[in-house]
Amino acid sequence: MDQPNHLSLFRKAYFLIFLAILSYFFLDRPLQTSPSPFFKPLYKVLTLAIFPPLHLALWGSFFLIARIKKNVWTLPLFEIAFAQGLGAIFVRIAKFLIGRARPELYLKKGIFGLYGLQWDNHFHSFPSGHALTAFTLATSLSFLLPKWRTPFLLLALAFSLSRVLLAKHYLSDVLGGAACGIIISTLTHTLLKHPKVTPLCDRFLLPQP
């Protein structure tokens, strides 16, 4: 029953990657402007709601509480927290390796493009960690509530676009982060549902009688 859902999610991710490539060449610079002072507070609230360290700590804490209380949500919460952790590791490595200049450098100095192997945060634009966090969560939740998959993904997109409106990321950064989030969460779900892995999760994560 899960398999068609997996294929559908992967197709969505590949389509987002295609859109990100198009955006890089044709949309990123034309769309990039300084944030509107009037709406900036709203954008900041939206972007704070998908702050990566916040979600990593939040879902990790939820999992630990559920585990201690021997709650039925232990395994689902572990899946969400595990996917968030993988996403956090992946995005830091990807940002360093790709080294894409952030929009503020383009707006102030006209610097645009990929520079590779950069420790400087000003060159950590791709992929968007906030978008990756939002779409990782949306995808994880959609496995728990399949009928809500589309609303979850649309909400993730709405929150993620705040990064573009705040001039912290280009549109392609958000699309790329979204694709990575979907892929990471889907792979996590597939791994944890593997016949050889599921018994291990039950043994080490669920309380034993």
For residues 104-108, give the mean pLDDT. 96
How confident is residue 4, by pLDDT bands cut at 50, 70 and 90?
A: very low
For residues 18-40, give the mean pLDDT. 94
d(CA 92, CA 10): 22
The confidence score (pLDDT) of residue 70 equals 87
Map residue 45 onto helix, strand or coil: helix
Each residue of 109-165: pLDDT tens digit?
999 999 999 999 999 999 999 999 999 999 999 999 999 999 999 999 999 999 999
The confidence score (pLDDT) of residue 1 equals 41
In terms of phi and psi (left: phi > 0; alpha: psi -120 to 50; beta: otherwise), the region of 99 is left
pTM above 0.85, yes or no: yes
For residues 175-190, give the mean pLDDT. 98
The confidence score (pLDDT) of residue 175 equals 99
Each residue of 115-128: pLDDT tens digit?
999 999 999 999 99
Beta carbons of 115 and 123 less than 8 angstroms apart: yes
For residues 173-188, give the mean pLDDT. 98
Closest CA to 95 of 147, 139, 148, 52: 52
**Per-domain residue ranges for the chain?**
2-205
Each residue of 61-97: pLDDT tens digit?
999 999 999 888 999 999 999 999 999 999 999 999 9
